[in-house]
Structure 1
C-alpha cells in the first residue's frame, strides 16, 4: 500500500454560486492534497463551505476558478474510486435497504447475487443488517445515514468522503460508524476525509483542518508542490 500516493489535489479551487450582486462564494481558493494514507477531519460552522469542498474533491461539482485533479485515480472519479457519504437524504426511495447498498456494485457490472452478499456484509458492519428489507421511508434519519455509509463501503473506493456522518446518530452509534470508516480506510488503503461539528470525532483522525467563511485553513502540510525534475543522470 502506498500511503503517500496523492489521490486528489486542489490548486486554488473556488466555487461561486450565482452572479453579480447576488453571487455567493462558497469556497475561496482552496489549496490542498489528500493522500491514500490521510485521515483528515474538517471542522467549521454550518455554512462555512465544508460540504461544497467535499463535492469539489469528489468531482460532483466543478470549481469556478482554480482546478481539482485526481493524480492517483484512474480517469474521472467514480463510485469505485471515490465514495461519498452525503449529509442529506441520498437513498433511492423505490429500492429497499439492501438494494440501495448494492446499487454501486450492480451499476459497475457485478452480478446481483454477489452484490447482495457484499451489501449485507457491509450493512452488518454498521449494525444495519436487520433493516435490509425496509424502504428508505421506513428508516429514521440515523438509520438512513448508516445505510449510506454501508453503500460507500460496499464499493470499496480509494477515497472516502463523509459529510457529517455522525450528525444524526447517538454517541454510541456515531462512535461505531467512525470505527467502521477508519477500519475500512485502513483495509482498502483509502484516504478518508470527514467533516464534523463534533470535536470528539475530529480528534479520532490524525489531521485536523478547518473552514471559516469558505476559506480552508489546512496548515503548512496540506499541499506540497511536485518536486522539481532532477537533471538527467543525477541521483534522485
Structure 2
C-alpha cells in the first residue's frame, strides 16, 4: 500500500433529500480527498451534515450531484463503519458481535473468533468477550464497535460521532481504540465530532456548517 494512495475523492458532491419546496440539502458541493493513512476530523454541530457526508464517503448514499469516487483497491470490505450509540446485536456476546462481519464474509467461525479476540485485546476489551451487550457500558460498547472494525482490517475507517454520548474520559478511550485500530491496519481514519478536544487529536480538521464543508483556511 502506497502512503500517498488516494482512497476516496469527492468532487462538488451534494446530497439532497426530497424534491421541490420540501427538499432538504444535507450536503452542498463538498470537495474532499482521503488518502491512505490520513487522520481527519470533520467538526460541526448536530445537523450540520456530518453524518450525511460520511454516508456519501461510505457509499451508503449516492450524491444527487457531483461525484464520489472510491479506489477499486478498497474492495467490498475495505471500509469499516463505526456508528454513534448502540450498534451491537443484543443476543450475541461481545466476541460474537466482533466476529460477525467476518463470519458473514465466509471466514470460518474459529478463525473469525480468533481475529475477534485479537482485536478486542488491542482495544483493551478482551475481558468483555463473553459478556452480552446489556452487561457492558456505553463506552465499552463503543470500544467493541472499534474492535469489530479492526477485526475486518479495512483500508478506511469512518466513525460517526463515536464519542458523542460519552463523557470526556470515556470518549478519549474510544478514540484511543480507533487510533489503535487505524495504526494497526494502516487504515485512513475519518471521525465526525462536535468536540474540539477529540478533533485536536487528529492530524487534519475540517469544519462543517449547514451542509457546507469548509477548507481549513475557510473555517467560519
Whether TM-score is above 0.5 comes out as yes
**1:181 and 2:201 are equivalent in the alignment:** no
Q: In the superposition, relative to structure 1, how do residues 201 and 68 fare at CA in structure 2: closer, same or farther (>3 Å)?
A: same
Q: Distance in 1 between matches of 2:51 and 2:187?
A: 20
CA-to-aligned-CA distance 1:186-216 (integer Å, 9 cap, x gap) = 2322111111121111111111001000001
**TM-score using structure 1 length:** 0.85
Q: Distance in 2 between matches of 1:140 and 1:188?
A: 26
Residue 73 of structure 1 aligns to a residue whose secondary structure is helix
CA-to-aligned-CA distance 1:137-168 (integer Å, 9 cap, x gap) = 44433232221111111101000111112223
CA-to-aligned-CA distance 1:37-81 (integer Å, 9 cap, x gap) = 211011000000001101110111111111111125344xx3x30
Residue 73 of structure 2 aligns to a residue whose secondary structure is coil
Tell me the equivalent position of 1:109: 106
Tell me the equivalent position of 2:154: 157
Gap regions ≥5 residues in structure 1: 221-236
**1:81 and 2:93 are equivalent in the alignment:** no
After TM superposition, list the pairs within 5 Å mapping 1:191-210 onto structure 2: 191-210=188-207
Gap regions ≥5 residues in structure 2: none
Q: In the superposition, relative to structure 1, how do residues 143 and 182 fare at CA in structure 2: closer, same or farther (>3 Å)?
A: closer
Tell me the equivalent position of 2:43: 43
Residue 106 of structure 2 aligns to a residue whose secondary structure is coil
The structure richer in helix per residue is: 2
* RMSD of equivalent CA atoms: 1.8
> Would the aligned equivalents of 2:153 and 2:185 in 1 still touch at CA under 8 Å?
yes
Q: Distance in 2 between matches of 1:90 and 1:52?
A: 18
Q: Distance in 2 between matches of 1:153 and 1:115?
A: 12
**TM-score using structure 2 length:** 0.91
Q: In the superposition, relative to structure 1, how do residues 16 and 126 fare at CA in structure 2: closer, same or farther (>3 Å)?
A: same
Tell me the equivalent position of 1:12: 12
Greater radius of gyration (CA): 1
Tell me the equivalent position of 1:23: 23
